[in-house]
C-alpha cells in the first residue's frame, strides 16, 4: 500500500475468522539465509460464519508451494497475505515458504541475534514466518519440528523427542500465533526446579550463551518466587512440566511471554552484583514476574483483538506491581510507579499521542505498546480494586479465570465478571477504558461549625478525536489531620461520579489539614491552592507514606518553579525541612533517598506548562544546579557523617533494605562531590566491588567533569560486557552539560562499539540524548537534528524501535516558538524520508498533527 494512504483498523469492524484451526504442525529447516517452513494446518469452516473469506496473513514470505488436502493449489497473493478457494468442509492446508532470518533486522518474526535463531511474534510477527490467520482470537495447538545443526533447539510446550539434527515439541494448550516461539543456537542452561502446590514438578531453565551462566542465579530465584506468589495470592498454578527462559541480545522490547518459552532481552534477565545495579536487579525481578504472570493473564486468557491489549497488559502490570510491593517495600514501589507514570504516561496523555487504554483505531499495533496501555491500564485496575474492595476483587478474579479460561476476551468480559461478582454497575467506570486524557481534579474546601467540606470539580482537557469528556468515577482516598499532627479521620475512599461534588466531615474540633489522593488512588492531576507551610506539615506528619513523599515532592517543585520564574534563591524553609529529614536516622533510608531525589527537569517543564508558562530548559537546568549546590552547602557539615553512616558494610545483597541504603548513600555522594572535588567519589570508585557503588561513583565524577580517568578505566574493565557498556554509553550523555550533550552523543555514535542494529545500544545513546532534558532541548537544535538523523537511518533497519523513539518529540508544543520550529523541521524531514516505514509514518504524522 502506498505510504500516503495507510490503512486504519477499527475496533468497531471486528468480525470473527470464518474457520476454526484444529491443529498446527510446523517444520523448520533452519539455515541463516534460506530457512524453509512447512506448515500443515487443519481448518474447519464455522457453520455460523458471517464472513467465509479464506484470507491468511503473510509478509516478506516467498511461497514455494501450497496444497489443500494434498492437491496443489495456486493461492491469490494479495496485499498482506493470500486468499484461496477452499472446501466447505474441514480440510488440511499445507504450505512451504522461505524466509531470510539473517537479513531480518526488524527483529520481528524469525531472526538471528548473535548467531542464534529466535522469534518474536507479538503482535503480528507470526505472519513473517508462515501464512496464517495471525490474530489472537484464532487459537490452536502447535506441534513443531526443528531441523538444523544447532546444539539446542527449543519451542513451546513439552519436548517430544530429539536426535541428531532435529527436535520436536508439542504445546498442549491452544494458543494464538503471537505466543509461538522458537529458539536455536549454541546455548547453555542454568537449571532449577519448582514443585507446584498440587505437587507437580516443573523443570526450570534459563538459557544463555556460554559465558553468561554466572548471571542467572538471581533470575532463577525471581522466577521461583513469582511461581509461589501467584499460587499464594491468586491461586494460580503453572500448567506445563517445563518453563524455559532464553536471554537474547537483540530484542525490541523487554521480554516476551511465549507459552513455556519466555524470550528476554538479556538486559532484563542477566544479573550479577559486579555488573548490575540495584535498579537493574529490581527491574529484572519485576519483568520475570510479569512474563510469568502472563501465563494466566495473557496466555490462558488472551485478547480477542489487539484493541484489547490492556486486558492482558494492564492486569499483568498490576499483578507484577503487587508482587514487587510484597517482595520489597509497598510505599517505595508506589512512589516509584507514580514517578514513572508522571514521566511517561502523563506526557503521552496530554499530547498528540493521547489515546484511551483501549484504543479504537490504529494503523500499526506496534505503536500501541504504550505507557497508557500498560501503566494507565494498571492504574485503572487499581481503582477498580479500591472501589470494590479487596475481597470482591479476588472474587471477581476467580470468576474471571473460571469463566474465561481458554478464551480470547474483551474489556467487556473483564468488567462483566466484576459486575456479576459484586452486583455493581460499571457503566460509568468503563469510561476509563474509552476516554483518553488525564483528569484534572480541582479541590476547594470549607470549614464551619465543626464541619469540613471538600468540593471536587473534575474536567479532562480535549485529546485527539475526543473534544469533550464525560465525568468519570474517581476514587479519592482522603484522610484528615488535626493541626497538632494527629490523624483525626483515617483514610476513606470518596467516590466521585459527577462533574462537581462535595463531601462533608463533621464533629471536628478544629479545621483539619486534608491529605488527599492518598496512595495516589487515581491517575489524575490534583489542583489545590495550598501553602508551603502546609506541605511541610504533611511532609512531617502525614500517616500515608505516599502523600508524605508527595508533599515533599510538591515542595521541591514549587521551589524549582519559583526559582525559574522569579529567579529566587531556593526556599529556605524547604531546605531546612530537607536537612531535618535527611539527618533523621530513624527514617527509612529508602524514603530519605526518594525525598532527596530532585524532581526531573522534564517534570518541572511539565509543571510549568500545566500552569500556562513556556518552559525554558536552560533555566530549569540552572535552577536544578543552583538548588543542588545550595543544598550541598547547607548540609556541608553533616555530609561526611551521613556518607559514612549510609555506607553499607558486609557483602552486597540486592534486597530492598540494602538498595534503600545504597540509594541514600548515592544521593549523599552526589552532594558531597559538589564540595570535595570528587575525592570521596574517586575513593568509592576505586574500592567498589559491586556495580551499584561503582556506577554511583562514576556518575558523581562525570557530573562534576572529574571522571575522565575512571571512565577510561570503566571502559577497559567492561568493554567485553555488552550490558555494562550500554551503561557507559548512556552515562556520558546523561552527565553532559546542556551545551555538550549533542556533541557527546554524536561522538559516541562514531564509537567502534556503537551498533545501530542492537536496540539496547541504540537506546543507550539516543534514549540518553532524549532523556537529558536541557541537552536535548538546547537552543542550537543540534540534538534534535542528531536524533532525527539516527531515526531516519534506523528506520530502514528496525521500524519498531524507530517509531517508539519518535515519542521523544511528543512534548514539542509545550516549548517556545524557536524550539517548535526546529523540531517541526526535523519531524518533517523524517516524514519525508524515502520509504519510511508504516510504524514511523504513523508516529510522526500523529506528532506533527498536534
Residues near ligand PHE, by CB under 6 A: 120, 122-123, 253, 255-257, 290-291, 313, 369
* Nearest residue to 388 (alpha-carbon basis) of 280, 479, 493: 493
Rounded to the nearest whole angstrom, what is the least distance from the CB of residue 509 to Zn ion in the complex?
Answer: 50
**Which helix (DSSP H) or strand (DSSP E) does residue 345 occupy?**
none
Q: Quick one: what does residue 736 bind among ligand PHE, Zn ion, none, with the CB cut-off 5 to 8 Å set by partner type? A: none
Q: Quick one: what does residue 124 bind among ligand PHE, Zn ion, none, with the CB cut-off 5 to 8 Å set by partner type? A: none
Nearer to ligand PHE, 108 or 150 (CB): 108
By CB under 5 A, which span of 44-52, 305-313, 474-482, 638-646 interacts with Zn ion? 305-313
Nearer to ligand PHE, 206 or 700 (CB): 206
Q: Mark out the alpha helices in 112-253 (DSSP H runs).
A: 217-234
Catalytic residue among 94, 124, 291, 379: 291
Q: Tell me the residue number closest to ligand PHE, measured at CB.
A: 253
Nearer to ligand PHE, 701 or 794 (CB): 794
By CB under 5 A, which span of 309-317, 499-507, 552-560, 666-674 interacts with Zn ion? 309-317
Which residues are registered as beta bridge partners of 496? Answer: 474
Rounded to the nearest whole angstrom, what is the least distance from the CB of residue 521 to ligand PHE in the complex?
Answer: 25
Cα distances (Å, whole numbers) of residue 651 to 37, 277, 712: 51, 14, 27
Cα distances (Å, whole numbers) of residue 625 to 182, 555, 620: 50, 17, 9
Residue 651 burial by CB count (10 A; 0-12/13-18/19+): exposed, middle or buried?
A: exposed
Q: Quick one: what does residue 168 bind among Zn ion, ligand PHE, none, with the CB cut-off 5 to 8 Å set by partner type? A: none
Rounded to the nearest whole angstrom, what is the least distance from the CB of residue 285 to Zn ion in the complex?
Answer: 15
How far apart CA 57 and CA 176 sit, in angstroms, is 14
By CB under 5 A, which span of 44-52, 314-322, 530-538, 807-815 interacts with Zn ion? 314-322
Q: How many residues bind Zn ion (CB under 5 A)?
A: 2
By CB under 5 A, which span of 279-287, 307-315, 322-330, 727-735 interacts with Zn ion? 307-315
Nearer to ligand PHE, 122 or 349 (CB): 122
How far apart CA 194 and CA 189 sit, in angstroms, is 16
Q: Which residue has the cell 570535595?
A: 676
How far apart CA 342 and CA 348 sit, in angstroms, is 9
Rounded to the nearest whole angstrom, what is the least distance from the CB of residue 544 to ligand PHE in the complex?
Answer: 30
User: Distance between the two ends of the chain, CA-based, in angstroms?
Assistant: 25
Nearer to Zn ion, 287 or 476 (CB): 287
Q: Is the separation of the CB atoms in 482 and 510 below 8 Å?
A: yes
Rounded to the nearest whole angstrom, what is the least distance from the CB of residue 462 to ligand PHE in the complex?
Answer: 30
Cα distances (Å, whole numbers) of residue 393 to 237, 286, 357, 426: 19, 22, 20, 14
Cell of 681: 567519589
Rounded to the nearest whole angstrom, what is the least distance from the CB of residue 229 to ligand PHE in the complex?
Answer: 17
Contact letters (x/-) for Zn ion, 316-355, by CB under 5 A?
x---------------------------------------
Q: Quick one: what does residue 732 bind among Zn ion, ligand PHE, none, with the CB cut-off 5 to 8 Å set by partner type? A: none
Q: Quick one: what does residue 369 bind among ligand PHE, Zn ion, none, with the CB cut-off 5 to 8 Å set by partner type? A: ligand PHE
Rounded to the nearest whole angstrom, what is the least distance from the CB of residue 817 to Zn ion in the complex?
Answer: 40
Q: Quick one: what does residue 560 bind among Zn ion, ligand PHE, none, with the CB cut-off 5 to 8 Å set by partner type? A: none
Is 313 annotated in the active site? no
Cα distances (Å, whole numbers) of residue 584 to 432, 646, 663: 41, 12, 16
Rounded to the nearest whole angstrom, what is the least distance from the CB of residue 263 to Zn ion in the complex?
Answer: 13
Nearer to ligand PHE, 122 or 348 (CB): 122
How far apart CA 836 and CA 735 sit, in angstroms, is 33
Q: Is the separation of the CB atoms in 644 and 668 below 8 Å?
A: no
Rounded to the nearest whole angstrom, what is the least distance from the CB of residue 120 to ligand PHE in the complex?
Answer: 6
How far apart CA 454 and CA 504 sit, in angstroms, is 6
Nearer to ligand PHE, 145 or 290 (CB): 290
Measured CA angle at 125 (ends 364, 81), to 5 deg: 80
CB count, 10 Å around CB of 10? 11
Q: Quick one: what does residue 128 bind among Zn ion, ligand PHE, none, with the CB cut-off 5 to 8 Å set by partner type? A: none
Q: Is the separation of the CB atoms in 665 and 647 below 8 Å?
A: yes
Strand-pair category, 201-208 with 242-248: parallel
Contact letters (x/-) for Zn ion, 191-210, by CB under 5 A?
--------------------
Which residues are registered as beta bridge partners of 494? Answer: 476
By CB under 5 A, which span of 151-159, 308-316, 404-412, 520-528 interacts with Zn ion? 308-316
* Backbone dihedral region for residue 356 (phi beyond 0: left; psi -120 to 50: alpha; all else: beta): beta
Rounded to the nearest whole angstrom, what is the least distance from the CB of residue 253 to ligand PHE in the complex?
Answer: 4
Cell of 500: 462537581
Cα distances (Å, whole numbers) of residue 633 to 572, 579, 593, 673, 680: 13, 11, 18, 11, 16
Q: Quick one: what does residue 120 bind among Zn ion, ligand PHE, none, with the CB cut-off 5 to 8 Å set by partner type? A: ligand PHE
Q: Quick one: what does residue 696 bind among Zn ion, ligand PHE, none, with the CB cut-off 5 to 8 Å set by partner type? A: none
Which are the contacts of 585, defined by CB distance < 8 A and separation ≥ 6?
645
Nearer to ligand PHE, 216 or 256 (CB): 256
Q: Is the separation of the CB atoms in 726 and 733 below 8 Å?
A: no
- Rounded to whole angstroms, the maximal C-alpha distance in the chain is 89
Q: Quick one: what does residue 676 bind among ligand PHE, Zn ion, none, with the CB cut-off 5 to 8 Å set by partner type? A: none
Contact letters (x/-) for Zn ion, 257-296, by CB under 5 A?
----------------------------------------
Instruction: Give the residue numbers annotated as catalytic, written as ranges.
Output: 291
Would you tell me which residues interact with Zn ion (CB under 5 A)? 313, 316
Amino acid at each position: 500500500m502506498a505510504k500516503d494512504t495507510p490503512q486504519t483498523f477499527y475496533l468497531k469492524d471486528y468480525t470473527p475468522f470464518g474457520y476454526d484451526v484444529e491443529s498446527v504442525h510446523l517444520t523448520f529447516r533452519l539455515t541463516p539465509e534460506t530457512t524453509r517452513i512447512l506448515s500443515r494446518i487443519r481448518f474447519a469452516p464455522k457453520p455460523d460464519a458471517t464472513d467465509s473469506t479464506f484470507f491468511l496473513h503473510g509478509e516478506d514470505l516467498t511461497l514455494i508451494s501450497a496444497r489443500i488436502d494434498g492437491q496443489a493449489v495456486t493461492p491469490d497473493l494479495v496485499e498482506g497475505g493470500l486468499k484461496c478457494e477452499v472446501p466447505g468442509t474441514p480440510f488440511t492446508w499445507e504450505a512451504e515458504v522461505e524466509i531470510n532470518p539473517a537479513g531480518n533486522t526488524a527483529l520481528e518474526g524469525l531472526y538471528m541475534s548473535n548467531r542464534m535463531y529466535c522469534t518474536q511474534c507479538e503482535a503480528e510477527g507470526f505472519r513473517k514466518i508462515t501464512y496464517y490467520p495471525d490474530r489472537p482470537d484464532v487459537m490452536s495447538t502447535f506441534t513443531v519440528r526443528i531441523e538444523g545443526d544447532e546444539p539446542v533447539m527449543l519451542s513451546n510446550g513439552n519436548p517430544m523427542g530429539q536426535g541428531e539434527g532435529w527436535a520436536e515439541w508439542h504445546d498442549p494448550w491452544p494458543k494464538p500465533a503471537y505466543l509461538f516461539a522458537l529458539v536455536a543456537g549454541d546455548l547453555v542452561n542454568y537449571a532449577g526446579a519448582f514443585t507446584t502446590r498440587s505437587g507437580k514438578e516443573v523443570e526450570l531453565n534459563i538459557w544463555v550463551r556460554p559465558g553468561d551462566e554466572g548471571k542467572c542465579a538471581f533470575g532463577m530465584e525471581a522466577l521461583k518466587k513469582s511461581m509461589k506468589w501467584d499460587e499464594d495470592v491468586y491461586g494460580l498454578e503453572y500448567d506445563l512440566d517445563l518453563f524455559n527462559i532464553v536471554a537474547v541480545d537483540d530484542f525490541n522490547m523487554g521480554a516476551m511471554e511465549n507459552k513455556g518459552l519466555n524470550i528476554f532481552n538479556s538486559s532484563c534477565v542477566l544479573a550479577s552484583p559486579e555488573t548490575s545495579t540495584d535498579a537493574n536487579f529490581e527491574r529484572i525481578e519485576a519483568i520475570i514476574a510479569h512474563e510469568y504472570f502472563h501465563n494466566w493473564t495473557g496466555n490462558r486468557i488472551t485478547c480477542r483483538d489487539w484493541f484489547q491489549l490492556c486486558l492482558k497488559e494492564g492486569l499483568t502490570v498490576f499483578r507484577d506491581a503487587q508482587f514487587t510491593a510484597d517482595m520489597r517495600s509497598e510505599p517505595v514501589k508506589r512512589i516509584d510507579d507514580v514517578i514513572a507514570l508522571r514521566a511517561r504516561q502523563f506526557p503521552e496523555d496530554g499530547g498528540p499521542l493521547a489515546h484511551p487504554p483501549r484504543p479504537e483505531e490504529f494503523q500499526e499495533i506496534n505503536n500501541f505498546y504504550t505507557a497508557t496501555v500498560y501503566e494507565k491500564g494498571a492504574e485503572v485496575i487499581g481503582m477498580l480494586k479500591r472501589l470494590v474492595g479487596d475481597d470482591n476483587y479476588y472474587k471477581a478474579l476467580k470468576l474471571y479465570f473460571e469463566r474465561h479460561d481458554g478464551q480470547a476476551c474483551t474489556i467487556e468480559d473483564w468488567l462483566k465478571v466484576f459486575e456479576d461478582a459484586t452486583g455493581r454497575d460499571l457503566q460509568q467506570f468503563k469510561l476509563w477504558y474509552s476516554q483518553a486524557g488525564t483528569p484534572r481534579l480541582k479541590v476547594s474546601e470549607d470549614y464551619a461549625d465543626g464541619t469540613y467540606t471538600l468540593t471536587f470539580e473534575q474536567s479532562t482537557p480535549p485529546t485527539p478525536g475526543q473534544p469533550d469528556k464525560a465525568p468519570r468515577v474517581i476514587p479519592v482516598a482522603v484522610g484528615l489531620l488535626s493541626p497538632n499532627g494527629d490523624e483525626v479521620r483515617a483514610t476513606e475512599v470518596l467516590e466521585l461520579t459527577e462533574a462537581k461534588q462535595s463531601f462533608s466531615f463533621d464533629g471536628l474540633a478544629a479545621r483539619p489539614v486534608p491529605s488527599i489522593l492518598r496512595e495516589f488512588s487515581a491517575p489524575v492531576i490534583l489542583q489545590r491552592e495550598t501553602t508551603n507551610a502546609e506541605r511541610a506539615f504533611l511532609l512531617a506528619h502525614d500517616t500515608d507514606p505516599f502523600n508524605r513523599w508527595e508533599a515533599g515532592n510538591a515542595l521541591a517543585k514549587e521551589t524549582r518553579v519559583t526559582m525559574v520564574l522569579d529567579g529566587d534563591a531556593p526556599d529556605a524553609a524547604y531546605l531546612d525541612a530537607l536537612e531535618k529529614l535527611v539527618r533523621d536516622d530513624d527514617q527509612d533510608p529508602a524514603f530519605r533517598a526518594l525525598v532527596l531525589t530532585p524532581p526531573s527537569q522534564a517534570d518541572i517543564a511539565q509543571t510549568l506548562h500545566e500552569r500556562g508558562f513556556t518552559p525554558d530548559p536552560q533555566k530549569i537546568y540552572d535552577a536544578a544546579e543552583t538548588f543542588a549546590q545550595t543544598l550541598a552547602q547547607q548540609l556541608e557539615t553533616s555530609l561526611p557523617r551521613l556518607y559514612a553512616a549510609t555506607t553499607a558494610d558486609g557483602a552486597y545483597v540486592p534486597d530492598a533494605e540494602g538498595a534503600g541504603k545504597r540509594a541514600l548513600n548515592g544521593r549523599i555522594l552526589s552532594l558531597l562531590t559538589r564540595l570535595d572535588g570528587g575525592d570521596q567519589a574517586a575513593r568509592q570508585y576505586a574500592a567498589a566491588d559491586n556495580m551499584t557503588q561503582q556506577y554511583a561513583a562514576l556518575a558523581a565524577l562525570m557530573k562534576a567533569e572529574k571522571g575522565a580517568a575512571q571512565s577510561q578505566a570503566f571502559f577497559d574493565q567492561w568493554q567485553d560486557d555488552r550490558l555494562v557498556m550500554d551503561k557507559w554509553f548512556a552515562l556520558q550523555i546523561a552527565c553532559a552539560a546542556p551545551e555538550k550533550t549533542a556533541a557527546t552523543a554524536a561522538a559516541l555514535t562514531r564509537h567502534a562499539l556503537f551498533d545501530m542494529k542492537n536496540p539496547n545500544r541504540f537506546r543507550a545513546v539516543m534514549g540518553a540524548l532524549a532523556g537529558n532534558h536541557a541537552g536535548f532541548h538546547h537552543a542550537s537544535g543540534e540534538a534534535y537534528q542528531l536524533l532525527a538523523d539516527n531515526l531516519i537511518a534506523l528506520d530502514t533497519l528496525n521500524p519498531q524501535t524507530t517509531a517508539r523513539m519518535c515519542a521523544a518529540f511528543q512534548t514539542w508544543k509545550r516549548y517556545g516558538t524557536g524550539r517548535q520550529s526546529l523540531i517541526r523541521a526535523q519531524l518533517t524531514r523524517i516524514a519525508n524520508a524515502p520509504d519510511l516505514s508504516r510504524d514511523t509514518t504513523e508516529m510522526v504524522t500523529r506528532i506533527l498533527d498536534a
